[in-house]
């Protein structure tokens, strides 16, 4: 069986992008509809596992004139 803890650069980028877009989607919702703990955990995972990819995604948004989602580090996963 393949070791799923080892990711290629492309896999890491795709997973980071999925988390990033999830955060963007949650932050576009009305405050009473947001899944706050999921959003906070997604941000924590981005910083813990995909910090380099997060920087690329933010740079890409800024270069395109888009406002990146707020991915400021807040807490640890589940914390």
Q: With 90 as the cut, is the pLDDT of residue 76 above it?
A: no
What's this model's pTM, rounded to 2 decimal places?
0.84
Given a contact cutoff of 8 angstroms between Cβ atoms, the answer to whether 54 and 20 are in contact is yes
Note the pLDDT of residue 1.
45
Assign 20 a pLDDT band (cuts: 50, 70, 90). very high
Q: Express each pLDDT in 25-66 by its tens digit.
A: 999 999 999 999 999 999 999 999 999 999 999 999 999 999
Task: Taking the CA atoms of 48, 54, 56 and 62 in sequence, report the sign of the dihedral they define.
Answer: negative
CA dihedral 36, 42, 43, 44 (to 10 degrees): 110
Note the pLDDT of residue 4.
59
Question: What are the two backbone dihedrals, phi and then psi, of residue 70, each rounded to the nearest 5 degrees?
Answer: -75, 105
State the Cα angle at 62 between 58 and 64, rounded to 5°.
120
């Amino acid at each position: 069986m393949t070791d799923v803890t080892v990711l290629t650069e492309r896999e890491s980028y795709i997973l980071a992008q999925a988390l990033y877009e999830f955060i963007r989607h949650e932050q576009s919702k009305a405050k009473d509809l947001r899944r706050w703990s999921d959003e906070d955990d997604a941000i924590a995972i981005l910083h813990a596992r995909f910090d380099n990819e997060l920087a690329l995604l933010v740079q890409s948004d800024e270069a395109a004139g888009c406002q990146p989602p707020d991915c400021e580090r807040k807490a640890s996963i589940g914390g």
